[in-house]
Amino acid sequence: MQLGLIGLGKMGGNMRERLRRAGHEVVGFDRNPEVADVGSLPDLVKALDAPRVVWVMVPAGDPTRETVAALADVLEPGDLVIDGGNSRFTDDFENAKLLGAKQIGYVDCGVSGGIWGLDNGYGLMCGGDDEWVQRAMPIFDALRPEGPREEGFVHAGEVGAGHYTKMVHNGIEYGLMAAYAEGYELLEKKDIVKDVPGAFKAWSRGTVVRSWLLDLMVKALEENPHLDDVSDYTNDSGEGRWTVEEAIALGVPMPVISASLFARFASRQQSSPTMQAVAALRGQFGGHQVMSIDEGEELRRGTGAEGLTHPAPAASREKESAPDRPSNADADAATAGPSSGTGSTGGGAPGGGPTSGTQDTSS
């Protein structure tokens, strides 16, 4: 089957390769001429036989909206556009309306798998009319993991349902990562635990907390057992925010995912205005000493302001004193993505042409 693919960054490029390995003909367009097969969107359309299927794999927001609008001007009735980026589901309604007015089909497809998808396959979550989903099924089957279709692919519902499902997937991912990270910190703090990477690895077979994320945690700790020089500053891709917004709109209690999102916000603060206010209030009602920022930093380093706080238990103090075990390291900080909520993949506004890069489909 033929496919036009717009955006050939880390994910888009790997998807092209996986599809070609499966015997499909893929014509790719990207602003980077070194990876592109054609030089423009019109050239992409000319290279495909009607009825065409074109997959858009560019950053969410304006780049995707503008690319879809440009395709509306060059495609023909009966053609199909698939948005495989991290678009907000509300954008799908407008894209489908724009293309539908010209009798061009539209499917939204959430994609999970990251850089590992080339060999392992991608989890796919689609929304749209059945006739359009079935049209692209050979492409979906080539991209998804091997095995039963329902274990790597879902036609989740109407237009928008694919990206909505992927949004919730990423919200769950936030909570899972935060739970593993908190467990890591607690194990690191306890002096009787001598092999933290080994503890995580022992969980990877036969336990109820085993998962691919746990496998990746094991890999990260085997490469860097104490996460030395890993900043705790953690971005978010936007989908966690959208998940919490939807929970509020629909009245769904979501304390775990909300807390994991807010923890990422806290990681970006040099100091916490919230806790500054708490310290000031303690000084007002209880006469507790209000420290300066420098005094607080000395306490964090354990070098000053004796008697201002309750000392940690002896076991914890012993472990904290070890120079190779810094505390407060977020286990997933090394994989942080952009915080703008637009993704980071190949593809820009069609005025400048889609750009290359990495579609952030995880969080």
Give the angle 4-134-38 at the CA atoms, nearest 5°.
5
| Residue 59 token pair | 């950053």
Residue of 10, 66, 173, 239 with catalytic role: 173
Residues 6+ apart with CB under 8 A from 188: 196, 226, 319, 325, 327
| Residue 351 token pair | 């005025």
166 is catalytic: yes
C-alpha span between 135 and 82 (Å, rounded): 11
| Residue 234 token pair | 């953690």
217 with 184: CB under 8 angstroms?
Answer: yes
Q: Token match 């003909």: residue?
A: 25
Q: Which helix (H) or strand (E) element contains residue 291?
A: none
Residue of 34, 66, 131, 166 with catalytic role: 166
Contacts of 281-288 with CB under 8 Å at 24 or more apart are none
Question: Active-site residue numbers?
Answer: 166, 173
